[in-house]
Amino acid sequence: MKHLNQLILFAVALLLCALPVRAQLYLDTKAPIEQRVEDALSRMTLAEKIAVIHAQSKFSSPGVARLGIPGIWCTDGPHGIRAEVKWDEWDQAGWTNDSCIAFPALTCLAATWNTDMSLLYGKSIGEEALYRNKQVLLGPGVNIYRSPLNGRNFEYMGEDPYLSATMVVPYIQGVQQNGVATCVKHFALNNQEDGRHVVNANVSDRALYEIYLPAFKAAVQEGQSWSIMGAYNRIWGQYACHNHRLLVDILRGEWGFDGAVISDWGGVSNTDEAIRNGLDLEFGSWTDGLTEGRSNSYDMYYLALPYLKKIQSGEVGTKELDDKVRNVLRLIFRTSMNPNKGFGSLCSDAHIAAARQIAGEGIVLLKNDPVGKKKTAQPVLPIAQDKKTILVVGENAIKQMTVGGGSSSLKAKYEISPLQGIRERAAQAGAEVRYVRGYVGDIGGEYNGVTTGQDLRDNRTPDELTAEAVAAAREADIVLFIGGLNKADHQDAEGYDRLQYALPYGQDELISALAKANSNLAVVILSGNAYAMPWLKQVPALVQAWFNGSETGHALADVLFGDVNPSGHLPFTIMPELEDYPAHQYGAQAYPGVNNEVEYKEDLFVGYRYADLYGQKKVLNYESSGKTYSINPPKRKPLFAFGHGLSYTTFSMSKATLDGNTLRVRIRNTGTRAGKQVVQLYVAPQKPVVARPVKELKAFRKVSLQPGEEQEVVFELGEQMFQYFDADAHQWVTGKGAYKLMVGTAADAIQSVTSYSLL
C-alpha cells in the first residue's frame, strides 16, 4: 500500500510537470505595468492582499515574499532624508551612516520662482532617497498659506495656487526620475496645526477648486505623482484620509489619479470608510497590539484584521480590496521593481552645491536703502570692502535649525551656521567678525533622539544682553542682526501653531536698540512665516533668509557679500498686523475654529487677492456655494507684497505688446551687476459677472541678465488663464469680456498694463 501511494504521487507529479506553467508576467520588466499588476493580483491570496495595504513597521509595508515582490519603504521629507528609526518606535535606530544633506525648506524653493531650481531640488533629494533604498519620499507639501500662524507653513510653497502648482511639478519629476515616488501632501485643506486631528474645514466649492486644489491637481495630472498623502483634518464632516468626495470623486474621478493614496501617520479612524472611500495604504494607526490577544499591533490596523473579518463574514466584497492592491502594486512596480533606477548618491559634492545654489536663489532682499542723506550714500548691502569690523548679533546666527520642527527634522551631515559662513567669507575680505548673543530664545536641540550637541544656555538677563549688543554695535562698521523664528513648539513646527504674530524673545526691542546704536544695520530673518515689523522704518536693510539647511551660512554669506546677487521673491504677502490677514478678521469661527468647526469666511480672498482690495470703500458681498460672503477691504497696505524681491542691480521693463494671444515684454539689466529678475503676469477681469479677485497670477518667467543685456519674455495666453469655477454647474467657466493683462515684478509693482478682450 505504501509503495502504491508513492507511485500515485509520482504519477501526479509527472502530470503536473507536463501541464503548461503560467508565465510569471509580473516579473517581466518589459511588459506593460498594467499587465504585470493584473498578473500579480491574480496570484495573491486574500491574506497577502490584506497584508500589502497596511504597514508592517513605522515606515514600511510588506510586499509578497512568496512571489518575490518587495515591500515599500517610506521616508519623511521633503527637505531631506530622515534618519533611520527603530522598527516599531520613533527612537533612533542608532545608525552611523544615515546622515543626509539638508536642503532648504520649501518656502525657500518657492521663493526662487525658478522651475530649474525645483527640478534640481527634486533630482538631488531623489538621489539621496534612492541611495538609502527608500521607495516613497513623503513630500512635497503644497497646502496654501492661509494664516501666518500655521506652524507648518515653512514646509509649503506659499499663498498662490498657480505658483505652488508650477513649482511642484518639476520637483516631482526630479524625484521620480530616480525611481522614487513622491507622496504629495497633505490632501487637502491642512491649513492649520491647531486641532489638526479633529478640525472640520468648511470651504466653498469655488475656493476649494480655485485656491486649495490646483497645486494637487497639477501634481497629479502634470507631475504624474505616484502617490499622495491624505490630511489629518476633516472636510465636509469626513476625515480626509478616507473622504469619498475628495479621494473617489475628485482625485480618481475628475483627475484620473492612478497612484496610491497613503494615509498620514495615524490619519485613519474607520474601517468601513477606509474600505469604500479611496484609501490604499494605511500607516501609523495607533493600536496597542493586545486586542483579541494579538501580538502584532499592525494586524489590528483598520485595513488589516478588521477588514479581513468583514470579507470573511460576507459583510463586504473584495472589489475595493483588489482596487487598493492594484494601486499598491503599481507603486511597487514603479519604484522597488523599477529596472531603470540607478543607485543614487548621498551627501555628494553635487548635492552640497545644489543646496547652496537653491538657498542663495531663494533668499529675498526685502529692503536695501542708502544710509545717510548724501548723494553718494550707499545701501548697507552688499557688505562693502571698507567694512572691516562686522558685528553679528542674534541667537539664530548660531542655532542649528535642521533638528526639530516635526517630521521634517533631519540628521544632517553638517550645518553651516550663519555666523560660520559670515566668518569664512569675511576672512577672505580681511574683515574681523565679532559675535554677541543679543537674546536667548530656544536653547533646545533634540527631536526623536537626534541632537544638535549645542549648549545654548545663557543666564544673563535681557537687559544685560541688550546692553552688550548695543555697546558692541557702536564700535562696529556694520551690524548684522540674525534672528527670527525657530523650530520650537508654537513657532515654525509641526503640531503647533504660533501664538503671536510678533517676533519672540524681545527681538523687536533689540532691533530698535541696535538701529539707534548703528545706522549701518542689516536685519536677517530666518523663518518660514511672516511676522510683524514695528522697527521697519528704522532699519535700512532687511533680508528674508528662510530655513536653508546644511548650506545656510554659506548661502547667506554669498548674498550678504555680493557673491550672489539676490533674486528671491516672496511667495506670500507680509501684512503689518495679524488682523490684516482675512482669516483673522472673522473671529474664532474662521480661525482656529469653534467646536472644531472652521469656516473659511474669506473664501477666495487669500493673500494678495485680499490685499488688492485696499482702497475700496465698499464691503464686497456675494454668494458662493449657497453661502453669503462679506469681505471687508483691508485697512492697511502690505509691508511687502506677494512677489516682492529686490536686487543689487536694476532693471527696466518695456511696455508689453499683444499680438493675438501672444504677449511680449522686454526686460533690461540697467545696472552694473549680473542679476535675475522675475517677470510676473497677472490677469484682471474688468466687469466680471461673478465675484472675482482684482487680479490673479497666471504666468511668470525668471530671466538672467548680464549688465546691459536685454531679453524678450513671451507669454502665450491660454483659455485657462481666464477661467473661474462655477460651483452650481460644477465646471470651469471661461469668463468672457474685457481684461487687463498686468506685467510687473510683484503684486504691487505692475509696470505695464495691456487691454485684452475674450469674446
509 band by pLDDT with thresholds 50, 70 and 90:
very high
Q: Is the pLDDT of residue 14 over 60?
A: no
Q: Is the pLDDT of residue 343 over 80?
A: yes
Give me the pLDDT at residue 4, please: 47
Give me the pLDDT at residue 89, please: 87
CA dist 106 and 108 (Å) reads 5
CA dist 250 and 213 (Å) reads 10
Q: What is the overall mean pLDDT for the chain?
A: 95
Cell numbers linked to 32: 506593460
Provide CATH 3.20.20.300 ranges for the chain.
29-90+99-334
Nearest Cα to 470, choosing from 393, 560, 380?
A: 393
Q: Is the pLDDT of residue 433 over 90?
A: yes
Q: What is the pTM of this model?
A: 0.95
Q: What is the DSSP letter of 582?
A: G
Give me the pLDDT at residue 16, please: 33
Give me the pLDDT at residue 753, please: 98
293 band by pLDDT with thresholds 50, 70 and 90:
low
3-state secondary structure 22-40: CCCHHHCCCCCHHHHHHHH
Is residue 264 annotated as a catalytic residue, yes or no? yes
Give me the pLDDT at residue 290, please: 62
What average pLDDT does range 506-517 have in this prediction?
A: 98
Give me the pLDDT at residue 292, please: 66
Q: Are 168 and 142 in contact (CB under 8 A)?
A: yes
Query: Taking CA 185 as the corner, what is the angle to CA 182 and CA 191, rounded to the nearest 5 degrees?
Result: 160
What average pLDDT does range 232-246 have in this prediction?
A: 98
Please give the helix or strand (H or E) that residue 543 lies within, else none.
strand 541-544
Choose which CATH entry (3.20.20.300, 3.40.50.300, 3.40.366.10, 3.20.20.140) describes domain 29-90+99-334: 3.20.20.300
CA dist 368 and 231 (Å) reads 40
721 band by pLDDT with thresholds 50, 70 and 90:
very high
Distances (CA, A) of 333 to 35, 62, 181, 225: 11, 14, 11, 14
**CB-count exposure of residue 720 (10 Å: 0-12, 13-18, 19+):** exposed
Q: 282: which strand partners?
A: 54
Pairing of strands 731-734, 446-447: unpaired
Give me the pLDDT at residue 2, please: 46
Q: What is the DSSP letter of 22?
A: P
**Which tens digit of pLDDT belongs to each residue from 464-488?**
999 999 999 999 999 999 999 999 9
Provide CATH 3.40.50.1700 ranges for the chain.
358-560
Exactly one of 76, 194, 264, 497 is catalytic; which is it? 264
Fold held by 651-758: Immunoglobulin-like (2.60.40)
φ/ψ (deg, to 5) at 681: -110, 120
CA dist 573 and 577 (Å) reads 12
CA dist 179 and 334 (Å) reads 6
Nearest Cα to 677, choosing from 361, 427, 456?
A: 361
CA dist 731 and 528 (Å) reads 35
Q: Are 339 and 29 in contact (CB under 8 A)?
A: yes
Q: Is the pLDDT of residue 738 over 80?
A: yes
**Which tens digit of pLDDT belongs to each residue from 682-709?**
999 999 999 999 999 999 999 999 999 9
% the chain with pLDDT above 70: 96
Provide CATH 2.60.40.10 ranges for the chain.
651-758
What average pLDDT does range 584-595 have in this prediction?
A: 96
443 band by pLDDT with thresholds 50, 70 and 90:
very high
**Which tens digit of pLDDT belongs to each residue from 109-136?**
999 999 999 999 999 999 999 999 999 9
Fold held by 358-560: Rossmann fold (3.40.50)
Other CB atoms within 10 Å distance of the CB of residue 149: 24
Q: Is the pLDDT of residue 518 over 80?
A: yes
